Structure 1
Amino acid sequence: MLLSMGLMASLLERLPVSPAMFYLPVGYILGPAVSGLINVAPAQHAELLTTIAKMALLLSLFTVGLKLRMPFRDSIWRLPVRLGVLAMLVTIPLLALAGLFLFDLPLGAAILLGAILAPTDPVLASDVQIKDVSDRDRIRYSLTGEGGLNDGTAFPFVMLGLALLGVPSAAAYTNVYAILHVLWSIVAGLSGGWLLGWLLGRSVVGLRRRFGLALGMEEFLGIGLIALAYAATELIDGIGFLAVFAAGLAMRRIESTNSGQQSFRRPQPKSTVGKVLASDNAEVATHPVKASAYMTETVLDFNQQLENFAEFLMVILTGILLSHIGFSWSGALLGLLLFFVIRPLSVAIALTGANVTSLQRRLMAWFGIKGIGSVYYLMFALQYHWIAPVGYKASALAPRISSMVLTIVAMSIVMHGISSTPLMEMYQRRRRRQG
Structure 2
Amino acid sequence: MQELNIALVTIGGLTLALSLISGLMRNRVYFLSEPMAAVILGIVIGPLGLDLLELAHWGDPFTILEQFSRITVGLAVMAAALRLPQRYFRKYARSMAMVLVPGMVGMWLVSSALVYALLGVPLWIAMLVGAIVTPTDPVLAGTIVTGSAAEQDIPMSIRNLLTGESGANDGLAYPLVFLPILVLQHPPSRAITDWLLETLLWEVGAAVVIGAIVGSTAGWIERESREHEFLEETSLLSVTVALTVAVLGGVKLLGSDGILAAFVAGLLFNQFANATDEADEQKVQETVLRLFTFPIFVFFGMALPLDLWLTLGWMGIALAVGVLLLRRLPMMIVFHRFVGLIDSKRDALFAGWFGPIGIAALFYATVVHRILGNEIIWGAASLVIASSVLIHGIMATPFTKLYGQTISSERTQTERGEDSRSEFTED
TM over 0.5, shorter chain: yes
Contact 1:85 1:153 in 2 (8 A): no
Contact 2:308 2:376 in 1 (8 A): no
1:303 to 269, 285, 301: 285
2:388 maps to a residue whose letter is S
Aligned to 2:24: 11
2:237 to 184, 207, 219: 219
Offset at 1:413?
1.2
CA separation of 1:366 and 1:182: change in aligned 2, threshold 3 A: same
Contact 1:12 1:18 in 2 (8 A): yes
CA distance in 2, matches of 1:339, 1:125: 14
| 1:184-205 alpha-carbon deviations (Å, 9 max, x no partner) | 2333222221221111111122
Q: Does 1:137 align with 2:156?
A: yes
CA separation of 1:413 and 1:172: change in aligned 2, threshold 3 A: farther
CA separation of 1:71 and 1:324: change in aligned 2, threshold 3 A: same
Q: Which structure 2 residue ranges, 5 or more long, are not aligned?
A: 1-13, 412-427
Q: Identify the range of structure 1 (327-336 vs 151-160) with the bigger mean alpha-carbon deviation.
A: 327-336
Contact 1:130 1:141 in 2 (8 A): no
Aligned to 2:221: 203
CA distance in 1, matches of 2:175, 2:188: 11
2:207 to 189, 196, 199: 189
Offset at 1:171?
9.0
Contact 2:179 2:195 in 1 (8 A): no
Q: TM-score scaled by structure 1?
A: 0.80
1:342 to 327, 330, 341: 327
Aligned to 1:158: 177
Q: Identify the range of structure 1 (372-381 vs 420-429) with the bigger mean alpha-carbon deviation.
A: 420-429
- Runs of 4+ in structure 1 displaced over 6 angstroms? 132-136, 170-173
Offset at 1:118?
0.5
Aligned to 2:115: 99
Contact 1:208 1:215 in 2 (8 A): no
Contact 2:119 2:316 in 1 (8 A): no
CA distance in 2, matches of 1:213, 1:8: 34
Q: Does 1:45 align with 2:64?
A: no
Aligned to 2:401: 425
2:298 maps to a residue whose letter is I
Offset at 1:142?
1.1
CA distance in 2, matches of 1:337, 1:313: 29
CA distance in 2, matches of 1:381, 1:73: 30
Aligned to 2:41: 26
1:175 to 186, 189, 192: 192
Aligned to 1:377: 364
Aligned to 1:148: 167
Cα-Cα RMSD: 2.8
Contact 2:136 2:355 in 1 (8 A): yes
Q: TM-score scaled by structure 2?
A: 0.82
CA separation of 1:115 and 1:247: change in aligned 2, threshold 3 A: same
Aligned to 1:88: 104
Offset at 1:103?
1.1
CA distance in 1, matches of 2:354, 2:124: 27
CA separation of 1:323 and 1:31: change in aligned 2, threshold 3 A: farther
Q: Identify the range of structure 1 (226-235 vs 83-92) with the bigger mean alpha-carbon deviation.
A: 226-235
Contact 2:124 2:184 in 1 (8 A): yes
Offset at 1:111?
1.6
2:132 to 102, 116, 123: 116
Aligned to 2:336: 351
SS in 2 for 1:69: coil
CA distance in 2, matches of 1:145, 1:213: 29
Q: Could you say which structure has the higher helix fraction?
A: 2
CA separation of 1:148 and 1:301: change in aligned 2, threshold 3 A: same
Q: Does 1:229 align with 2:243?
A: no
Aligned to 1:36: 51
1:314 maps to a residue whose letter is I
2:228 maps to a residue whose letter is R
Q: Does 1:126 align with 2:142?
A: yes
Contact 1:343 1:366 in 2 (8 A): yes
1:18 maps to a residue whose letter is S
Q: Identify the range of structure 1 (364-373 vs 419-428) with the bigger mean alpha-carbon deviation.
A: 419-428
CA distance in 2, matches of 1:73, 1:123: 20
SS in 2 for 1:186: helix
Q: Does 1:319 align with 2:332?
A: no
Aligned to 2:391: 415
CA separation of 1:10 and 1:175: change in aligned 2, threshold 3 A: closer
| 1:137-192 alpha-carbon deviations (Å, 9 max, x no partner) | 222111111110111111112112222332x7x99971335334444233322222
Q: Does 1:252 align with 2:270?
A: yes
CA separation of 1:427 and 1:80: change in aligned 2, threshold 3 A: farther
| 1:41-78 alpha-carbon deviations (Å, 9 max, x no partner) | 69943223211111111111111110011434765454
Q: Which structure 1 residue ranges, 5 or more long, are not aligned?
A: 256-291, 387-397
Percent of aligned pairs sharing the same letter:
23
Offset at 1:93?
1.8
CA distance in 2, matches of 1:127, 1:103: 32
Offset at 1:335?
1.3
Aligned residues: 386
